[in-house]
C-alpha cells in the first residue's frame, strides 16, 4: 500500500468537507488524516488528505473528487518534493520520577511545555508525522494521559497547486 497526500481546493461552503469524507468512505478508503483550513482567498479552503492505497484506486478517487460540486482542483503531492507538518498536544503524568525526562525530551524534539500542573505536563510538538510518532514512543513509558493531533498539512516546495479560480480542475499523478 502506497501513501498518498492529496491537496483539494474547494469553495468555502457549508457541507463540502462532509461530502468529501463521505465519498472517500463510500469508496472504502481509510483516511489516515484530513485537515481543512482557509487559504489566502477567503472564498476557498484547502483540504489535505492522507491515505493509503494502490495507484489505480487513488486515480479513481481523484476522478470522483473532481466531479464533486464545490471542488475546484485536486492534486496528488509529490512526496519527494513535499513538506509535511503536523501538530500534537500531549498530556503526560507529572511526577518527581519523570518530570526531568519529559522536559528533556520536549527540548530535544523542540517541543514546548504549555501547561504545568501538579498532576500533568502538557507538551506541544510540531513537525513531520514520523517525528510526532517518535515523541509518542518516548512518552509511552512515562505515562501518557491524553493525545490530540491535528492531522497532516502539506505543500510542495517547487510548485504551487492548481489555482482554485481556474475553471478546469486537474490532478497530477
- The string of DSSP codes covering 99-151 is HHHHHHHHHHTT-EEEEE-SSEEEEEEEE-HHHHHHHHHHHGGG-EEEEEE--
Average pLDDT over the chain, rounded to an integer: 89
107-149 pLDDT, tens digit each: 999 999 999 999 999 999 999 999 999 999 999 999 999 999 9
Task: Please check the confidence at residue 160 and state whether its pLDDT lies above 70.
Answer: no
Which of 66, 85, 56, 33 has its CA nearest to residue 173?
Answer: 56
Please report the pLDDT score of residue 163 as a whole number: 59
Range with the lowest mean pLDDT among 127-136, 148-157, 162-171? 162-171
What DSSP designation does 57 have? H
Residue 55 DSSP code: H
Domain locations along the chain: 2-82, 83-149
- What confidence score (pLDDT) does residue 92 get? 97
**Residue 165: pLDDT over 80:** no
CATH number of 83-149: 3.30.70.1150
User: In the predicted model, is pLDDT for residue 164 greater than 70?
Assistant: no
- Name the residue with cell 502539506: 154
Give the containing element (helix H, strand E) for 170.
none
Q: Identify the pLDDT of residue 27.
A: 80
| CATH superfamily for domain 2-82 | ACT domain (3.30.70.260)
At 172, is the pLDDT very low, low, confident or very high (cuts 50, 70, 90)?
A: very low
Residue 171's pLDDT band (boundaries 50, 70, 90)? very low
Question: In this model, does residue 170 exceed pLDDT 80?
Answer: no
- The model's pTM is 0.80
Distance CA 54, CA 113 (A): 40
Per-residue confidence band for 162, with pLDDT thresholds at 50, 70 and 90: low
Tell me: pLDDT of 9 over 70. Answer: yes
CATH topology of 2-82 equal to that of 83-149? Answer: yes
Amino acid at each position: 500500500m502506497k501513501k498518498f497526500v492529496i491537496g483539494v481546493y474547494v469553495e468555502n461552503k457549508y457541507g463540502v468537507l462532509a461530502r468529501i469524507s463521505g465519498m472517500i468512505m463510500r469508496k472504502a478508503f481509510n483516511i489516515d488524516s484530513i485537515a481543512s483550513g482557509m487559504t489566502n482567498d477567503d472564498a476557498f479552503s484547502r483540504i489535505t488528505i492522507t491515505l493509503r492505497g494502490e495507484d489505480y484506486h487513488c486515480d479513481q478517487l481523484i476522478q470522483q473528487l473532481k466531479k464533486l460540486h464545490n471542488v475546484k482542483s485536486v492534486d496528488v503531492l509529490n512526496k519527494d518534493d513535499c513538506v509535511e507538518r503536523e501538530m500534537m498536544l500531549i498530556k503526560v503524568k507529572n511526577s518527581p520520577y519523570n518530570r526531568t525526562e519529559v522536559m528533556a525530551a520536549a527540548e530535544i524534539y523542540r517541543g514546548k511545555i504549555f501547561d504545568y500542573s501538579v498532576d500533568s505536563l502538557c507538551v506541544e510538538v510540531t513537525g513531520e508525522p514520523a517525528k510526532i510518532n517518535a515523541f509518542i514512543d518516548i512518552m509511552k513509558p512515562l505515562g501518557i494521559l491524553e493525545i490530540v493531533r491535528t492531522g497532516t498539512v502539506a505543500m510542495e516546495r517547487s510548485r504551487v497547486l492548481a489555482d482554485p479560480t481556474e475553471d478546469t480542475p486537474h490532478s497530477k499523478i
